[in-house]
Structure 1
Amino acid sequence: MNKYKKPSVTTDIFIFDEDFNFILIKRKNNPFKNYWALPGGFVDYGETVESAAIREAKEETSIDVELKDLVNVYSNPDRDSRGHTISITYTAKGDFNERKANDDAIDIGIFSAEKLDEINIAFDHNKIIKDCLNIVKNEK
């Protein structure tokens, strides 16, 4: 048995359109039940982070995505009350018309940067969303 504690690896996906609108899901479960969050989840053993990002986006939003950019790695040990998680975050493109809340999501919405202060956002996703917006706006 391994005596060393290890953090969990997760991925978050910032799915955006040409007008910099983006998808958030409303969480079905705790922590942060009924809060808005980026689609994402845990990387399965033997799975690449990229594959996990594509899978999690599909599971929670029903959208097939194309990953665009690696945004950052978020590793604050206190970012998730369930334990130390490291999130590897990507920007992605996908057809918003395919969206349907699924899996751990009870709702799905399209948001803009101007609406961020008006909604309850889970985890450290407010910071992650702002980082993602900086990347996608600077590429245009």
Structure 2
Amino acid sequence: MKNPLLTVDTVILCDVESIVLIKRKNNPYKGFWALPGGFVEYGETVESAAMRETKEETGLEVELDRIVGVYSDPKRDPRGHTVSVCFLARNIQGNLKADTDAADVECFPLHEISELELAFDHGKIIEDALNILKFQE
């Protein structure tokens, strides 16, 4: 029996008008912009995985504020069925620095996001995160 793989993604606020995105170094979606994230390791919580992947890819230590959603479309990743738990987070320490699977990392103003080539279903995740933020205001 095959089971989906578990992943995490993190929407990190730089400030109220921008978020952190990484440029993918590897396929799939090499060269596309994406949210920091990756696979959950065996024995690891999704929260720990989100913080680890964020630090590995961006150099930032984050505090997780809440879950944005769970994304489980079997076609969301061309490598196979993945389920991603996505978090809204804020930077608590560190400086932006691309590492591991990231070729680059930047804070993008929200009005520029729609012009970028985004990997996976990250456009939908960002939209959902922004709706949560609007609701909190």
TM-score range, shorter chain: over 0.9
- Deviates most, 119-128 or 14-23: 14-23
| TM-score (ref. length: structure 1) | 0.93
Which residue is 1:70 aligned to? 67
> How many angstroms does 1:109 deviate by?
1.1
Amino acid at match of 2:96: R
Does residue 115 of structure 2 align to residue 118 of structure 1?
Answer: yes
SS of the residue corresponding to residue 33 of structure 1 reads coil
Which of the two has greater strand per residue?
Answer: 2
Query: 1:36 corresponds to which residue?
Result: 33
Residues 16-27 of structure 1 mapped to structure 2, 5 A cutoff = 16-27=13-24
Are 1:20 and 1:133, in contact at CA under 8 Å, matched by a contact in 2?
A: no
Aligned residue number for residue 139 of structure 1: 136
In structure 1, list runs of 5 or more residues that go unmatched: none
Extract structure 1 runs of 4+ deviating beyond 3 A. none
Within 1, Cα distance between the matches of 2:9 and 2:44?
Answer: 15
| Residue aligned with 2:114, SS | helix
RMSD over equivalenced CA pairs, Å: 1.3
One-letter amino acid of the structure 2 residue matched with residue 86 of structure 1? V
Letter in 1 for 2:22: I
Tell me the equivalent position of 1:5: 2
State the shift of 1:138 in Å: 2.0
Aligned residue pairs, count: 137
Task: Tell me which of 51, 56, 64 is aligned to 1:59.
Answer: 56
What is the CA–CA distance in structure 2 between the aligned matches of 1:58 and 1:97, rounded to whole Å? 9
Task: Tell me the SS of whatever aligns to 1:133.
Answer: helix
Equivalent residues of 1:20, 1:137 under 8 A apart: no
Q: 1:74 to 1:40 in 2, by over 3 A?
A: same
Structure 1 equivalent of residue 84 of structure 2: 87
Q: Give 1:113 deviation, angstroms.
A: 2.3
CA contact (8 A) 2:61 2:93 kept: no
TM-score using structure 2 length:
0.95
5+ residue gaps, structure 2, are: none
Distance 1:36 1:88 in 2: 19
Give the corresponding residue for 1:47. 44
Contact in 1 for aligned 2:62/2:93 (Cα 8 Å): no
